[in-house]
Structure 1
Amino acid sequence: MDREIVLKRTLSRLQIRLNKESSGTKKEKEIFTGKLSDNFSKLVTPLSKLYGDHLDFYIFLEDLVIRVYKSWLKRDKNLKELDESREIKQDWFKSEKMIGAVCYVDLFAEDLKGLENRIDYLKSLGITYLHLMPLFKSPKEENDGGYAVSSYRKVDKNIGTTNELKSLILKLRKNGISLALDFVNNHTSDEHIWAKKAKKGDPFYKEFYHFFPDREEPDQYQKHLRDIFPEIRKGCFTQLKETGEWVWTTFHSYQWDLNYKNPEVFISMAEEMLYLGNLGVEILRLDAVPFTWKKKGTNCENLAEAHYLIEAFNAVTKIAAPALIFKSEAIVHPDEVKAYIDQDKCQISYNPGLMALLWEALATRKVDLLKKFIDKRFVLDQKTAWVNYVRSHDDIGWTFSDEDAAELGINAHDHRNFLNKFYSGDFEGSFSKGMKFQHNPVNNDMRICGTTASLSGLELGIENSDKGQVNDAVNRIELLYGIAMSIGGIPLLYLGDELGALNDYSFQDCKSKKEDTRWVHRVKYDEKAYALSKKEGTIQGLLSNKIKHLMQLRTKHPSFGSENIEVVETGNQHVLAFLKKTQSERVVVLANFSEDEYEISTNNLPSLKSAKELLSNRKMIESDKMSIPGYGLFWIKLAD
């Protein structure tokens, strides 16, 4: 039978079922039915690929639609008005005025009330997008920094209450700031009510997770899987003391992977997602998206079904909370990262490739790999955008393409070893004070932790009382954020970077944190540093002014919000150049990733006649050559 006929027939049956619902007015049912109809194919197509072979597929679909309808009924009027505006302008996040910041609530402001008091500070930075690290209930001791979720609805009592979160969201929106939260949809903590019931043998909730009576099936899966935290544990399965059964735990033993092969899991997680949307959250960061589907004989990463899940969740939001968008977190091969970015999947995405290669270029003083990445892998489809970050709460993994490296004559394995040595301070001449994270002795793989300032050489410069080293470090930080602010997409500030926050080694004295070196860069907001940022002649003041200057200038130039980019060849392996343009302006960005001054040819650059360098507000002199100081950053606006 023709697919369109089947869809229409199914939709008609669902409309009849909706009309029997006691909740909602006739008008509300008509509005919802219209939204369902507009997005029905986008909803059913991925769901049928996931669950179409279930005999009760229609019953599942009906249950899902009714629950989505009830969630939509609960949505506040002001949020439905926001939905309407976002449906008209679906690329609302693509603007030079969009500037993001990210933090842990407790580290930045103690609690949600404290964060309300920091809104003016965020506005002074020009922040229009605030991502708060996990703030919902999680185990007291080991909780993976909040990513072991015990409830998707109860705020951690040490941070505040749900009502305080609602109040914060409203005040942020009134001040032009959209809130982003994490949606940890791959796993729950073993203290979640579903996990507790499963542990007690409840057959309904045991199907929410992957349970095995013995090692036979886990061993079949395990031979294709990688260890995520090899220093902490081997394998992706944990044996329960209570029953002797094994449960799938990709990350930590207390984080139980959800079983999305069970459609009840999808329905339940869709409800949790819409609950967050109804609080007023505008952006959900989907955590660990590559891992959500399991299939024997594969590495259980980046499977087609993982994409179908995102498409289905996306369709649910388009029906019941259109103002809500997704941010992808996929720290995988650059091609796999881009596969998650789509108007019907994740509209925005972390850009781990750019982040890693900015640090790579600082270590090597060469921009070859970075240029190749921008040239081949940066441009996205319309109505999507990168989130360009320098540092985050997580480690740095060297996620450049081995194929790109090979084209440049670089051995990818050896190069990653070099970068790990350089940023952990094991390479002679390194300026970095980073720490190793999760070293795997089998393949020598590891990642790097540290704050932007400590990785950039500021900590070393202060230790050595070396003004030259300090100055270089400050310039490196400005360079990194200068690229993030100008390359196109949404720049993301890891709060504390603007004050030069250094590594905090006190985590080593905490039993629940000492095995996780990522805590070295999860630094408490420093009131003294903030006070120093107000004073001239301080490192904090210098950095704060530089970062603010970059942000303020970004908001005045539409080309920095545009996805259009053209790499320009400078003839110098140390200097990156790219052209940003819109119908109204053109800006050339130049960045020297070496501490040495270089002279470059301007032959490949557009004419510099009547051009102005924006950061220094000086006119450019037209010439065949141009000198760029060590770690120099130029934003050159060309004449109309």
Structure 2
Amino acid sequence: MTALSALETDAAIVVEHVARREQPADGETVARLRAEFPRLHGLFRALYGDRATSLESLLTLIDAVLDARADRPAELRRLDRDRAARPTWFESERMLGGVCYVDRFAGDLDGVRKMIPYFRELGLTYLHLMPLFASPEGDNDGGYAVSDYRTVDPALGTMADLRALAADLRDAGISLVLDFIFNHTSNEHEWATRALAGDPVYENFYLIFPDRELPDAYERTTREIFPDDHPGSFVPLPDGRWIWATFYRFQWDLNYANPDVFTAMAREMLFLANQGVEILRMDAVAFIWKRLGTTCESQPEAHLLLQAFNAVLRIAAPAVLFKSEAIVHPDEVQDYISPDECQLSYNPLQMALTWEALATRDARLLQLALDERHELPPGTAWVNYVRSHDDIGWTFADEDAARFGIDGGPHRRFLNDFYIGRFAGSFSRGFPFQENPRTGDARIAGTTASLAGIAAGDDGGEDRVVLAHALAMSTGGIPLLYLGDEVAQLNDDTFQDDPARRGDSRWAHRPERPSERYEERRDESTVAGRVFTRLRHLIDVRRATTEFAGNELIPFHTPHAAVVGFIRPATDEHGGAVLVLANVADEPAAIPSETVSGLDESAWDLIRDSAVGLGRGLVLPAHAFVWLRVRRL
């Protein structure tokens, strides 16, 4: 049977199946199903073969999709239609994201609702709340070990509270973003407890082996992610079996080779979409498919699974977008970004290389990333950030570093030492995360202010904080603030006194909301006030600068290794172009007139709202930047 005849035959079966359903689908939904079915059918066959059981699984999935669409509230259906009319809404220069833990920043979901006036003051259009669902007591990887995707942690509120918050945020022009933690569940999830009890259906939801033969074979090619927690990729079960746990021992990887797992997780995803979540952060996308003899990262099937989840959303909740979290080789990061997979993606390379440039006072690796690794497909966007809830890993490509005579391994060790404060003259006060004495590997934890020098009292600390955010705000896509950084919050060292957290140094940069600093945010005699005022001004300028919409970026090179430069071109015939130059060095950089000779001598400084003459070049002070509206000759 040919692929076409298989599609035609299966489509006819689906039509008959849908017609027999007790609750008939509306015409709009049927049209969406017809449009997406060929793609979904092809993806299911590629993932699960052409056997009859695959069609049965696909029919079960379609029932789940149609049920979710029928349950979708009217206001979210209106959002679906609005977003269909404005498919690039997220590329606007007015977009600004914020991220926080509910309990650490606002106490509970009602506290978050009370913060909406502040979010509007700041200019947020996107709010990412860190994992807030039921999870094990004590250490739970900051909520990334989910025990129930449909139950909010009682300490934070209820699902009704979450729906109400989503509606209030939407009314305020703010999209709610939540994590979809779909690589694994906690070991307390109902599926996990039933698997442990020997239920054969749920045993097949995970990757469980009777002895070490296959785990040993897999671990010859997989890498350790959290060596402080356990070696390798597997942990023992009480009955002597072994289960795959890529991250922490209480996070058990799901078996996506089982189509029932895909359908079960699709139901959870659609449930979240119907609560009013507009963007789902797809956690740990690189790890969702396993293949013996490989790293079990970024396998082709991982992309097929994301495309299949995407197709499901296009039928049942088409307003919802995916944001990829892929901390892998830079070449692999971009593989996950497309309108058919993840429309948004973190930009870990730019984040890491911003910190690399500040430590080395050399922007060449960052410039190279903007030159060669920034472009994205139409209909997609980067999420640019200075730091997140997670650690900072040095994700640059060794082959890129080699072009500048840099050996990647020793350079990463230098960066770790620098940001931990072990390197003489370092301005940083960070912590090592998952430091592996055997390999020398480590990552870095710390708030922006602590890593940039404010905690150490370094004179350049405030400028570095603002410079890093200015780059995130001007390179394209959606800039993302870790809430608290806008008032220069410092590390919380007390995590070391908490038995549930002392083993995870990332809690240093997840402090409780620094109320006293927020109270100082309008007082420019304070660090918090100066940083807030400067960042708030950048946000205002960005919102008024149409050239900052979208992702397009044209490299602009200068003679200085410490200066990164690019042009953001006009998005329509009415705009100009904006030249961005940033100096990561501790001393001024003079940009000669020859470098800017391709630009009209008259420019406009968007930050200072004043005219600038380029005829004699310009001078960038230490840790300074400019956003200049220019006209290219």
User: What range describes the TM-score normalised by the shorter chain of this pair?
Assistant: over 0.9
2:355 aligned to 355, 359, 378, which one? 359
Q: TM-score, normalised by structure 1?
A: 0.97
Q: Is the 8 A contact 1:420 1:446 kept in 2?
A: yes
Q: Residue 625 of structure 2 aligns to which amino acid in structure 1?
A: L
User: Matches of 1:410 and 1:537 in 2, distance apart?
Assistant: 42
Q: Residue 312 of structure 1 aligns to which amino acid in structure 2?
A: A
Residues 235 and 254 (structure 1), Cα distance of their counterparts in 2 relative to 1, 3 Å cut:
same
Aligned residue number for residue 588 of structure 1: 579
Aligned residue number for residue 111 of structure 2: 114
Structure 2: gaps of 5 or more residues:
none
2:395 aligned to 387, 394, 399, which one? 399
Q: Is the 8 A contact 2:99 2:130 kept in 1?
A: yes
> C-alpha offsets along residues 199-235 of structure 1, whole Å, 9 cap, x if unaligned?
1111111110111111111111111111111122211
Q: Which is further off, 449-458 or 46-55?
A: 46-55
1:222 aligned to 219, 242, 249, which one? 219
Q: Residue 549 of structure 1 aligns to which amino acid in structure 2?
A: H
Q: Is the 8 A contact 1:436 1:446 kept in 2?
A: yes
Aligned residue number for residue 614 of structure 1: 606
Return the offset for 1:245: 1.2
> C-alpha offsets along residues 243-302 of structure 1, whole Å, 9 cap, x if unaligned?
211111111111010011111000000000000000010000010110011111111001
User: Matches of 1:627 and 1:191 in 2, distance apart?
Assistant: 59
User: Matches of 2:283 and 2:487 in 1, distance apart?
Assistant: 28
Tell me the matched-pair count.
628
User: Matches of 1:120 and 1:46 in 2, distance apart?
Assistant: 44
After the TM superposition, which residues 352-431 of structure 1 pair with which residues of structure 2 at under 5 Å, given as runs?
352-431=348-427
User: Matches of 1:354 and 1:41 in 2, distance apart?
Assistant: 37
2:626 aligned to 621, 631, 634, which one? 634
User: Matches of 2:138 and 2:393 in 1, distance apart?
Assistant: 26
Return the offset for 1:162: 0.5
After the TM superposition, which residues 474-553 of structure 1 pair with which residues of structure 2 at under 5 Å, given as runs?
474-553=462-541
Q: Which is further off, 421-430 or 1-10?
A: 1-10
2:100 aligned to 90, 99, 103, which one? 103
Aligned residue number for residue 4 of structure 1: 4
Q: Residue 3 of structure 1 aligns to which amino acid in structure 2?
A: A
Q: Is the 8 A contact 1:101 1:127 kept in 2?
A: yes
Aligned residue number for residue 205 of structure 2: 208
Q: Is the 8 A contact 2:150 2:271 kept in 1?
A: yes
User: Matches of 1:5 and 1:83 in 2, distance apart?
Assistant: 33
Q: Residue 621 of structure 2 aligns to which amino acid in structure 1?
A: P
Q: Is the 8 A contact 1:148 1:254 kept in 2?
A: yes
User: Matches of 1:54 and 1:190 in 2, distance apart?
Assistant: 32
> C-alpha offsets along residues 17-54 of structure 1, whole Å, 9 cap, x if unaligned?
11111113xxx343322111111122122221110154
Q: Secondary structure at the match of 2:365?
A: helix
> C-alpha offsets along residues 510-533 of structure 1, whole Å, 9 cap, x if unaligned?
111101001000011011111111
> C-alpha offsets along residues 319-355 of structure 1, whole Å, 9 cap, x if unaligned?
1110011000010100000000010000000000000
Q: Secondary structure at the match of 2:443?
A: strand
After the TM superposition, which residues 4-23 of structure 1 pair with which residues of structure 2 at under 5 Å, given as runs?
4-23=4-23
User: Matches of 1:624 and 1:401 in 2, distance apart?
Assistant: 37
Aligned residue number for residue 466 of structure 1: none
User: Matches of 1:634 and 1:96 in 2, distance apart?
Assistant: 17
Pair 1:273 & 2:269 matched: yes
Aligned residue number for residue 328 of structure 1: 324
Q: Which is further off, 221-230 or 616-625?
A: 616-625
Q: Residue 22 of structure 1 aligns to which amino acid in structure 2?
A: E
User: Matches of 2:449 and 2:582 in 1, distance apart?
Assistant: 19
Q: Is the 8 A contact 2:524 2:533 kept in 1?
A: no
> C-alpha offsets along residues 67-109 of structure 1, whole Å, 9 cap, x if unaligned?
1101110001111111112223222211101110100000110
Identical pairs, percent:
47
> C-alpha offsets along residues 460-510 of structure 1, whole Å, 9 cap, x if unaligned?
00xxxxxxx24x111001100001111110000000001100000111011
Return the offset for 1:608: 4.2
Q: Which is further off, 557-566 or 480-489?
A: 557-566
Q: Is the 8 A contact 1:18 1:29 kept in 2?
A: no
Q: Which is further off, 159-168 or 625-634?
A: 625-634
User: Matches of 2:9 and 2:324 in 1, distance apart?
Assistant: 34
Q: Is the 8 A contact 1:488 1:559 kept in 2?
A: no
User: Matches of 2:413 and 2:553 in 1, distance apart?
Assistant: 31
Aligned residue number for residue 590 of structure 2: 599
Q: Is the 8 A contact 1:579 1:589 kept in 2?
A: yes
Pair 1:63 & 2:83 matched: no
Q: Is the 8 A contact 1:15 1:33 kept in 2?
A: no
Q: TM-score, normalised by structure 2?
A: 0.98
Residues 567 and 617 (structure 1), Cα distance of their counterparts in 2 relative to 1, 3 Å cut:
same
Q: Is the 8 A contact 1:101 1:129 kept in 2?
A: yes
Q: Is the 8 A contact 2:522 2:533 kept in 1?
A: no
Return the offset for 1:638: 1.5
Q: Residue 155 of structure 1 aligns to which amino acid in structure 2?
A: V
Q: Residue 416 of structure 1 aligns to which amino acid in structure 2?
A: R
Q: Is the 8 A contact 1:486 1:561 kept in 2?
A: no
Structure 1: gaps of 5 or more residues:
462-468
